[in-house]
Chain A
Amino acid sequence: MKSNQRKAFAERNLLIILAVMAVYLTIATKGNFSSWDNITNLIRQSSINGVVAIGMTLIIITGGIDLSVGSIVGLSGMVYALLTSNRGDIQMTSSLAIILALGASALIGLANGVAVHKGKVPPFIATLGMMTLVRGIVMYSSSGRMISGLPMGFREFSVATMLGIPALAWTWIFLAIFMAFVLKYTMYGRNLYAIGSNIEAARLSGINIGSNLYKFYVTAGLFSGIAGLMLGTRMAAGVPTGGQGYELDAIASVVIGGASLSGGVGSIFGTALGALIIQTLRNGGNLLGVDPFIMQIIIGAIIILAVFFDQYLKGRKAG
């Protein structure tokens, strides 16, 4: 089978699953599910995880994993809040604070990349350490308290809409399309897949492994940083526990989206569908009044099934 056909095949399956879920939920909720309000709400709720998952997709394609994304989400939001809150000592302009928040996020990403490439620390361990470390910074700098009093314009972003679609959702859609383009049409994307599928062959093809890995980890950090700001506008505050556990949803989205944890395989579109599927489950469960703990069980089972199904299809092809 053609590989782009194959990829499209996996993505088509996800689309079908999503469609089936939507039809079922529409009937089961007597139309409530597909109300415009609910749909825009669903997309808005997916958007923050969706943005984090874009970065996670890159790292998983390299064959690594990034457990620090949730903490970076918290860091970025907190840096912004500390720098702009009208109750603090520093009161910067919003745009300068955004740049600094993203800068800090990128820096953490770079540190991950250096630990993985230069330090030869396995990505799981390096980013696990970073997850704890960064969360510590967030807690310490805020003394574990919420920081509110953020600029008006920043807070309003979370309720702003364009063409009836929330600005947060637009942010996600725009970033996803942009990264999908970058992965398909630029050296950056080609190098990513090359390094992820065979690092030695990539090196012998003249690809600089180190500088590329740094770029990917920095990008992942940046996307988490953006997600942190998105969370900040929704919470209208810097939250010390903000982003906690986000790495799990992000990983789940990427895996459901068809990426392989051994690297070389994965797509932004697949990940976006994965994020939507997870959120649709939550949203549907909510509307149907399913116990949230039961929902957790279901989502866990679906992650395992997604990977199992993928392996099963692969096995059948060889046999």
Chain B
Amino acid sequence: MSFGKEILRLDNINKSFPAVKALDQVNLSVRAGEVRGLVGENGAGKSTLIKVVTGAYIKDSGKMIFEDKEVSRNSPIISKELGIYAVYQDVMVAQDLSVAENFFLGNQPKKGPFIDWGKMHRESKKFLEEIEVDIDVKRSIKELSAAEGKMITIAKALWQNPKLVIFDEPTAVLTRNETKILFRIIKNLRGKGSAIIYISHNLEEVFDTCDTVTVLKDGAVVGTYATEELGSVEKLIPLMVGRTIEEMYYKKEVAIGQELLRVENLSGSRFQNITINVKAGEILGIFGLVGAGRTDIARAIFGADKFDKGKIIVNGKEISIRKPKDSLKSGVGYLPEDRRNQGTFAQQDIEFNVNAINLDKVMKAGILNYKKAYEQTKEYVDKLSIKIGSVYQKVSDLSGGNQQKVVIARWLCRNPDVLIFDEPTAGIDVGTKAEIYRLFNEILNQGKGIILISSYLPELIGLSDRILVISNGMVAGEVKKKDFSEEYLLTLAMKNIVSKEKIREAV
């Protein structure tokens, strides 16, 4: 495939943080019309690299050349003027402004001295219709769901028509349909001659979308490959993690024991008559489209939200669960989906974060034993290969994926009888994914049970013993292992959705 002229070139870029060398002599060249994948383990330096390009971080040394001109001074404002647009892993567009205002930010159409609201709304509405995004342009960003907000950030890329667009894990919060729109937008941008850098841990996605892919490892470039020549995801993994992964969804057969958790006729504002049970040694998968109510159900079982009626029975005893403390005590845990906002204590160190619910194991007579606390943390940091400088590093200094792992470590260490994992591997690199699946086996071997909520079907199908499908807040069916198939699960997931319109929205 031939591309246009070189848009961005990086020569020997270095960037260090107090604890790590995040970028080590990085060279990169991206051309017009090229979609470049950027992959690597959590903490490999991907986000740091793009922040250097956008000027959010200042490089220690090296050259950045944009359209044949060296950019010696860079800042978010300068890079924007150059025509660089980034969709960050965590930052969004202006929260308080409406969708339309976000599109026109900085150059609102005027009618005399006044802003021409009519024109602004008309044009942005027309634009969103063209790319089939169905969001009211008058709503402010903070009223939108995380996925819709992300969608607007992405659509804005196309709107601004930049020369270089960078996407940092854009699909982590998107539904299938939105992901499809994203890919259309990328095609569109490529057609207009933009260069694109696309970061993702979903390697299939990278293969489908990108022309070329650059692998980063420990801050250094391993190499850049044409995806066509590479051929398959399996070829890419060893380059990223330095080893091959034999069997991704490895699951031992564990004898299924007695029932650990039983939920009967649970009803809340967004779900009705949910009945669930999990037995020792079993992974119960829960599938549903985004918005089907999976997270709501999990939060209700855990006591994070109130529910209207229903029974929760743990180890044969009915439990009254009104707050997370109750469920923790009776042996039910919940790893939240939004780990950044609901999981991490960002200003505190890793030891603090891992031990947040595990202090009882390292306290004696009410006094914390720091040596034990350190060892306990270290054990799980190693198990999940969390990339850190020291366990006394602040969690906010870790890469996005490593922050997530810290919260996962917290729950693995707690080791409750039943652990509900809500999208445990979103944003996690392949090597660690395989590692987490192995840890699932360890948990099951101890006679515990797992509820796995996941939108990633290969994972759900590969690991679950049974899959419960939730559709529109109700159980649409329970599928046995022998009947697992993507088509069947998707059909069930749409069972309770009546209108075509709704289906398109939810898929």
Contact with B along A1-34 (1 / 0, CB 8 A): 1111110000000000000000000000000000
> Shortest beta-carbon distance, A51 to chain B, in Å?
24
Q: Are B393 and A204 in contact (CB under 8 A)?
A: no
Q: Is A216 in the interface zone, CB < 8 Å from B?
A: no
Compute how far the CA of A1 lies from the CA of B325 in the bound complex, rounded to whole angstroms. Answer: 33
Residues of A within 8 A of B (CB-CB), count = 30
Q: Is A206 in the interface zone, CB < 8 Å from B?
A: yes
Q: Is B323 in the interface zone, CB < 8 Å from A?
A: yes
Which B288-332 residues sit within 8 Å CB-CB of chain A? 302, 304, 323-325, 328-329
Q: Is A198 in the interface zone, CB < 8 Å from B?
A: yes
Compute how far the CA of A4 lies from the CA of B324 in the bound complex, rounded to whole angstroms. Answer: 30
**A186/B349 contact (C-beta < 8 A), A3-B392, A203-B324, A206-B324 known:** no
Q: Which residues of A are found within 8 Å of B18, using beta-carbon distances?
A: 1, 317
Chain B residue nearest to A2 (CB atoms) is B392
Q: Is A185 in the interface zone, CB < 8 Å from B?
A: yes
Query: Could you list some 16 contacts between A and B, CB below 8 A?
Result: A186-B367, A186-B368, A190-B352, A190-B356, A190-B368, A194-B348, A197-B345, A197-B346, A198-B344, A198-B345, A204-B304, A204-B334, A204-B336, A206-B324, A260-B347, A318-B57
Q: Are A186 and B393 in contact (CB under 8 A)?
A: no
Q: Are B357 and A6 in contact (CB under 8 A)?
A: no
Chain B residue nearest to A188 (CB atoms) is B366
Q: Is A87 in the interface zone, CB < 8 Å from B?
A: no
Q: Are A193 and B348 in contact (CB under 8 A)?
A: yes
Which B378-416 residues sit within 8 Å CB-CB of chain A? 389-390, 392-394
Contact with B along A188-215 (1 / 0, CB 8 A): 0010011001101111111110000000
Which B249-278 residues sit within 8 Å CB-CB of chain A? none
Q: Is B447 in the interface zone, CB < 8 Å from A?
A: no
Q: Are B304 and A206 in contact (CB under 8 A)?
A: no
Q: Which residues of B are found within 8 Å of A1, using beta-carbon distances?
A: 18-19, 393
Q: Is A288 in the interface zone, CB < 8 Å from B?
A: no
Q: Is A265 in the interface zone, CB < 8 Å from B?
A: yes
Q: Is A153 in the interface zone, CB < 8 Å from B?
A: no
Q: Are B342 and A3 in contact (CB under 8 A)?
A: no
Q: Is B222 in the interface zone, CB < 8 Å from A?
A: no
> Shortest beta-carbon distance, B337 to chain A, in Å?
11
Q: Are A265 and B342 in contact (CB under 8 A)?
A: no
Q: Which residues of A are found within 8 Å of B65, using beta-carbon distances?
A: none
Q: Which residues of B are found within 8 Å of A194, using beta-carbon distances?
A: 345, 348, 352, 356
Compute how far the CA of A87 lies from the CA of B42 in the bound complex, rounded to whole angstroms. Answer: 73
Q: Which residues of A are found within 8 Å of B439, using beta-carbon distances?
A: none
Q: Are B344 and A201 in contact (CB under 8 A)?
A: yes
Q: Are A201 and B342 in contact (CB under 8 A)?
A: yes
Q: Are A190 and B359 in contact (CB under 8 A)?
A: yes
Q: Are B366 and A186 in contact (CB under 8 A)?
A: yes
Q: Is A187 in the interface zone, CB < 8 Å from B?
A: yes
Contact of B323 among A187, A208, A260 (CB under 8 A): A208
Q: Are A197 and B347 in contact (CB under 8 A)?
A: yes
Q: Are B343 and A204 in contact (CB under 8 A)?
A: yes
Compute how far the CA of A184 lies from the CA of B359 in the bound complex, rounded to whole angstroms. Answer: 13
> Shortest beta-carbon distance, A316 to chain B, in Å?
10
Q: Which residues of A are found within 8 Å of B356, using beta-carbon distances?
A: 190, 194, 201, 205
Compute how far the CA of A68 lies from the CA of B110 in the bound complex, rounded to whole angstroms. Answer: 50
Q: Are A264 and B345 in contact (CB under 8 A)?
A: yes
Q: Which residues of A are found within 8 Å of B329, using beta-carbon distances?
A: 206
Compute how far the CA of A186 lies from the CA of B360 in the bound complex, rounded to whole angstroms. Answer: 11
**A6/B359 contact (C-beta < 8 A), A206-B324, A318-B57 known:** no
